[in-house]
Amino acid sequence: MNGFWSEVFIVLKGVLCRLYLFISFHQDRIIGLMFLLNLALRVFTLMEFVVQQALLSTQTYAGWSL
């Protein structure tokens, strides 16, 4: 049973080491991805605001009067 846990630890150690190398070598890609996600969030927030203003200007929402 003791050998099983040591093998699990060795596998996890290797996976974490590879993950660290992936993150450190591709830091520019991660920064770019975060920039694009931030930009997408801003666009969706703007779209939500525009739709909300359009709905308020018509004073109806799914057949109900506001």
Q: Shortest CA distance to 47 belongs to which of 30, 60, 39?
A: 39
What's the CA gap between 40 and 46, in Å, rounded?
Answer: 10
User: How many domains, the chain?
Assistant: 1
55 three-class SS: helix
pLDDT in tens, 26-54: 777 778 878 888 999 999 999 999 988 88
Q: What is the pLDDT of residue 42?
A: 93
Q: Which domain holds residue 8?
A: 2-65
Judge if pTM exceeds 0.75: no
Does residue 57 surpass a pLDDT of 60? yes
Please give the residue that has the higher pLDDT: either 17 or 53.
53
Q: Which tops the pLDDT comparison, 66 or 6?
A: 6
